[in-house]
Amino acid sequence: MATSDLVKELEALGAEFARTAGGCATEQDIRALQARFLGKKGSVSLLMKQMGAVPPEARRELGAVFNRIKESIEGEVARRLGELENASATADLGRSIDVTLPGRAPSVGRLHLLTQIRQHAVDVFGELGFEVAEGPQIDTDFHCFEALAIPKDHPARDMQDTFYVSDDVVLRPHTSPVQIRVMQSRPPPVRIVAPGVVYRRDDDATHSPMFMQIEGLLVDEGVRFSDLKGVMLHFVRRTFGGGLDIRFRPSYFPFVEPGAEVDMQCSFCGGAGSSCRVCKGTGWVEIAGSGMVDPEVFGHVGYDAERYTGFAFGMGLERVAMLVHGVGDIKHFYEGDLRFLAQF
């Protein structure tokens, strides 16, 4: 094909694109039309492949025409896209809005399950006059062990059970040091609960290296073991429903004497046992450790053991939450899975 014919063809394609682009109503239509002319197999591109057959002296003229047509097409694409954008913006401004429609409420967060259980426990014990006390999560060996009558050779003080920061500083393995600090700071009567995070070297389906605990302490004149039973029974029935009973099993804790594990009737089978997977057929579930405060502990804080008596108890809040909601693995509380957390 002669050079003049190629130029005429290019000019004709440029004019055709300008006419056709005016009828494109969407960006997709314009982009498709652009590809039809300037794509690898487009009309203009295929025509330019014939440049190899054009005499060398005519190629400069043909190349200039090609560039002009290409720029013309790209300019028309940009112009039409701008017109469509302006038309869309104008349509949005003109769209009627019903201001009487209710607004869309944003999704809001909710309290973590453990926070809910902690607040519930604080409220329940608060009904009996217990106030909340807090203390440091990194504490001294004296407050965590020695003042609680836990001897140097006790297994709980070994490195395989306790996280040591230094020889005399540990990550608290229980919230009992809060009890010591409170008793050091004021005389009896004392009636406190100490909720908080504690740390132990333990990790399985029902134990975590970090977990939440709540402990209680009541010291006054004439405090009896029966008072402890009344407090624990009140918590069980307010948390798991009325009608459930509790029992005490003798157990050893260095800082209480006598000491006891607190069991409650299984809330899933009502104490019937049989094939219940939660209580393993016994009808009972352990929920806390407890006992009367050992006089040696009073000696460390300057309380008169001849005049005052007291009781203490402690329980894991994760365990309470697992029993209340039927959660099978303690790790669910800490994985941050919204599908799990949103259920509560």
* SS3 letters across 6-44: HHHHHHHHHHHHHHHHCCCCCHHHHHHHHHHHHCCCCHH
Contact 37, 14 (CB under 8 A): no
Rg (C-alpha) for the chain, rounded Å, is 39
Q: Which of 178, 182, 180 has the alpha carbon at shortest distance from 196?
A: 178
How far apart CA 21 and CA 10 sit, in angstroms, is: 17
Q: For residue 54, which amino acid is it?
A: V
For position 95, what pLDDT does the model report?
A: 64
How far apart CA 331 and CA 329 sit, in angstroms, is: 5
How far apart CA 255 and CA 174 sit, in angstroms, is: 12
Contact 264, 245 (CB under 8 A): yes
DSSP assignment letter at 328: -
Q: Which of 148, 153, 151, 157 has the alpha carbon at shortest distance from 177?
A: 148
* Residues of the chain under the 50 pLDDT cut: none
For position 55, what pLDDT does the model report?
A: 74
Q: For residue 11, which amino acid is it?
A: E
Contact 242, 255 (CB under 8 A): no
How far apart CA 225 and CA 265 sit, in angstroms, is: 20
For position 228, what pLDDT does the model report?
A: 96
Which pTM was predicted? 0.65
For position 289, what pLDDT does the model report?
A: 94
For position 247, what pLDDT does the model report?
A: 94
For position 303, what pLDDT does the model report?
A: 96
How far apart CA 117 and CA 306 sit, in angstroms, is: 37
Contact 266, 146 (CB under 8 A): no
The structure tokens listed for 8 are 């005429």
How far apart CA 46 and CA 13 sit, in angstroms, is: 12
For position 96, what pLDDT does the model report?
A: 66
Q: Which long-range contacts (CB under 8 A, 24 or more apart) does 122-125 make?
A: 122/193, 122/195, 122/214, 124/234, 124/235, 124/238, 124/239, 125/193, 125/214, 125/216, 125/231, 125/235
For position 194, what pLDDT does the model report?
A: 96
* Residue 215: partners with Cβ closer than 8 Å, 6 or more residues away: 174, 175, 176, 178, 179, 193, 194, 312, 313, 314, 315
How far apart CA 28 and CA 81 sit, in angstroms, is: 10
